[in-house]
Structure 1
Amino acid sequence: MFQKWLKRKLGLADGKFPDAAWLIHLAYIRLIGFTFAAIGWILCLTAMGVVEWRVWYLMPGTSTEKIRIGIWGVCFMEPTPDGDSRKQCLEFLDEHLSLPNEIFLAQDLMSLICIFVLWKLFHKGRPKNVLLIFFWVGGTLNLLSGFTILIPLLWKMYSVLVNDSIHFPNYFQLPVLPYEQNAGFAIYVGISASGFQLTSSILILSEKCWFSECKRNN
């Protein structure tokens, strides 16, 4: 009974059934591909929420010597009257038109990818041929997700390399250019997320060839 059900799901003809070792191998590859996609989603979500895409260092001796810039806002340590300091975070809003387009693009793309990958992980379709649909659609969408994540990341990395400026709203009272700037933690997390998504797509799409060969041989 189980073999009949599995043959129907695999799309194999009656009387033709792949050996158990191949099915176990296929199950492991599918599980690894799913796991990598899940890790990629977690890392993408982490990168989106971390306020450290670009790190600015100001001239020594200024009241604020280090600024962390994310895609949703900017954070820095602000001195207090008692000589101590406290963390101050300011949010980026849609009406802040002076901000570079890369910030709003990163907001849209990272949010879209996180929602898209989450939907893909938990969406339960009922296609006629489950595995072929998984190979083609799942692998292709993972590949698309991996490359899409790279767009805001590479743009941010380029801005750091050319020491690009940011015209913050006037009430932020922050400089346009830093003394020095580096790529933040979020960029490396995002690149790792892209790597997991791309690896997941390679695993899934490579198995499609094995599956097609098995159908021909059986």
Structure 2
Amino acid sequence: MPSIACFAVPLGDVVSMSLLVQSAHRPVAGFAVGTLGCIFCIMSMGLAEWRVWHVEHTPVLPVGLACVGMWKVCIYRPSGYSKRITCHLYRYTDAYPPPDIRAAQNLLLAASLLGLVGKALLVLGLRHVFVGSLHSGAAQNFFLAAGALKVTAGTCISVAVVCNYCSVTRAAGIAFPPSFALPFQPKAQDVGNACGVAVLAALMMLLSGLLAFFYKVPPESQVHPVVTEI
């Protein structure tokens, strides 16, 4: 019986898909971690517990506790057997926030913007991996740019946290308007829980950037057709 060479279905597509899935693990994880980092960064900006002021209670200043945030201050005033909370928002045009709060505001805003842009670049990179050419370097360029933005965002958040910590340790005061009924400096002040949220956001941003940096284009695979004899 004559020998007929038959080419089986190539395995190249299967191998390429396996390489694609393996190469996308870290960028996908970076996208998930970076999304959480953006959420925590935005949350930290909205919280008031960056600095906790312990104010001595006097008839003129009937305040026991105040929480100073990046965009608002919340004052806890005694009211009978409970406490009444009054919050005052800062406007960007207000003159009384000190330079350290101004710097932290700008750093957190920049971190949020950089984190969102970095997330968009990660999406473009993943789309290029799954839809475009597997061995093209374009996806890697997207991931490198996204990683740089994520690392920069994490650095901005870290600097904002350090600025707040330094202000607390040196007992920095704030000249609030007289209507707030707050002294220039409290009796004592502590670092609030919002700093913990910001630290977590910074770590997630940095981790997301590092995961994007570690992406590598899969090596070329050579798959030979299988010859069978009939």
Give the structure-2-normalised TM-score: 0.75
> Aligned partners of 2:97, 2:146: CA distance in 1, in Å?
36
> Aligned partners of 1:22, 1:201: CA distance in 2, in Å?
22
Give the equivalent residue in structure 1 for 2:95.
97
> Aligned partners of 2:190, 2:110: CA distance in 1, in Å?
26
Give the equivalent residue in structure 2 for 1:10.
none
Give the equivalent residue in structure 1 for 2:5.
none
Q: 1:96: Cα distance to partner? A: 3.3
**1:186-201 alignment to 2 at 5 Å?**
186-201=194-209
> Aligned partners of 2:186, 2:137: CA distance in 1, in Å?
56
5+ long unaligned stretches in structure 1: 1-14
- Amino acid in structure 2 at the alignment position of 1:189: V
Give the equivalent residue in structure 1 for 2:176.
168
| 8 Å CA contact retained: 2:49, 2:67 | yes
Q: 1:164: Cα distance to partner? A: 1.3
| 8 Å CA contact retained: 2:140, 2:215 | no
Give the equivalent residue in structure 1 for 2:68.
69
Q: 1:74: Cα distance to partner? A: 0.6
Stretch deviating more after TM superposition (120-129 or 65-74): 120-129
| Residue deviations 1:97-137 (CA, integer Å, cap 9, x gap) | 23211222222221232233223323565887442122311
> Aligned partners of 1:135, 1:99: CA distance in 2, in Å?
38
- Amino acid in structure 2 at the alignment position of 1:36: V
| 8 Å CA contact retained: 1:146, 1:195 | yes
Structure 1 residue ranges (4+ consecutive) displaced by more than 6 angstroms after TM superposition: none
Q: 1:167: Cα distance to partner? A: 1.4
Give the equivalent residue in structure 1 for 2:159.
151
Which structure: larger Rg?
A: 2
> Aligned partners of 1:207, 1:18: CA distance in 2, in Å?
18
3-state DSSP class of the match of 1:89? strand
**1:50-61 alignment to 2 at 5 Å?**
50-59=47-56
- Amino acid in structure 2 at the alignment position of 1:114: S
Give the equivalent residue in structure 2 for 1:24.
21
Give the equivalent residue in structure 2 for 1:141.
149
| 8 Å CA contact retained: 1:96, 1:169 | no
Alpha-carbon distance change, 83 to 40 in structure 1, aligned in 2, over 3 angstroms = closer
Give the equivalent residue in structure 1 for 2:107.
109
> Aligned partners of 1:173, 1:53: CA distance in 2, in Å?
19
Greater fraction of residues in helix: 1
| 8 Å CA contact retained: 1:167, 1:176 | yes
> Aligned partners of 1:95, 1:149: CA distance in 2, in Å?
22
| 8 Å CA contact retained: 1:54, 1:184 | yes
Give the equivalent residue in structure 1 for 2:44.
47
Alpha-carbon distance change, 66 to 136 in structure 1, aligned in 2, over 3 angstroms = same
Q: 1:157: Cα distance to partner? A: 0.9
1:118 aligns with 2:116: yes
CA RMSD in angstroms comes to 2.8
Give the structure-1-normalised TM-score: 0.79
3-state DSSP class of the match of 1:146? helix
5+ long unaligned stretches in structure 2: 1-11, 129-135, 223-230
